[in-house]
Structure 1
């Protein structure tokens, strides 16, 4: 299974059109100009992919923190991540 951070990077570029040069571990969703609707949509995509969700109240979460949270939540749930769906 692909690492969580790599899946997030692909979703950000392919689904949301975020330029690759803006995606860094220390970038926040806020800095990437994700409004509440975009954060919700990303959260739903990540939940569909991994079966766990991001904290909803954290616009300031970094991509590294989000990946760590999702990885820990998947491990705590004792389940393997769901196969990644093709992003269109």
Structure 2
């Protein structure tokens, strides 16, 4: 089970006084008697506690708690992937700045031994890239 589901349960029971027995995968915000204001507040709490932007309009459209949990899990996974990608891109940027130009037998070679990247430029020595 995801770590999102217990957080949803906690928010619904503690903040909105929804009985725990009613928090089942098939429940909707409507079946839990959550009006639009409560759903908007729920979305704000989710953003503050989990860092996930939950669009309250999509939560009102009859989504079940199982669907909401899956949506939030997917959003969290995507956010984690973007963060990891951004970190990798930042690392790649540092690697690219470490590229050195080597002159060998009349040709210019750009070599980065850190990443194993090697690029050859057939321009004569002294001709800029």
In structure 1, what is the equivalent of residue 39 of structure 2?
39
Query: After superposition, what is the alpha-carbon deviation per residue over 1:19-50, rounded to whole angstroms, capped at 9, x for unaligned?
Result: 11111011000111111100000000001111
In structure 2, what is the equivalent of residue 21 of structure 1?
21
With 15-24 and 70-79 compared, the bigger mean Cα shift is at: 70-79
Partners of 1:3 and 1:64 in 2: how far apart?
13
Offset at 1:54? 2.2
Partners of 2:30 and 2:11 in 1: how far apart?
16
Higher strand proportion: 2
| Stretches (4+) displaced over 6 A | none
Partners of 2:39 and 2:56 in 1: how far apart?
8
| TM score, norm. by length of structure 1 | 0.81
Partners of 1:68 and 1:45 in 2: how far apart?
17
Offset at 1:61? 1.2
**What value does the CA root-mean-square deviation take over the aligned residues?**
1.4
| TM score, norm. by length of structure 2 | 0.57
Aligned residues: 78
1:9 aligns with 2:22: no
What SS does structure 2 have at the residue aligned with 1:57?
helix
Which structure's relative contact order is higher, taking Cα pairs within 8 Å and 6+ residues apart? 1
Listed as ranges, the gaps of 5+ residues in structure 2 are 84-129
Listed as ranges, the gaps of 5+ residues in structure 1 are 80-88
Partners of 2:79 and 2:54 in 1: how far apart?
14
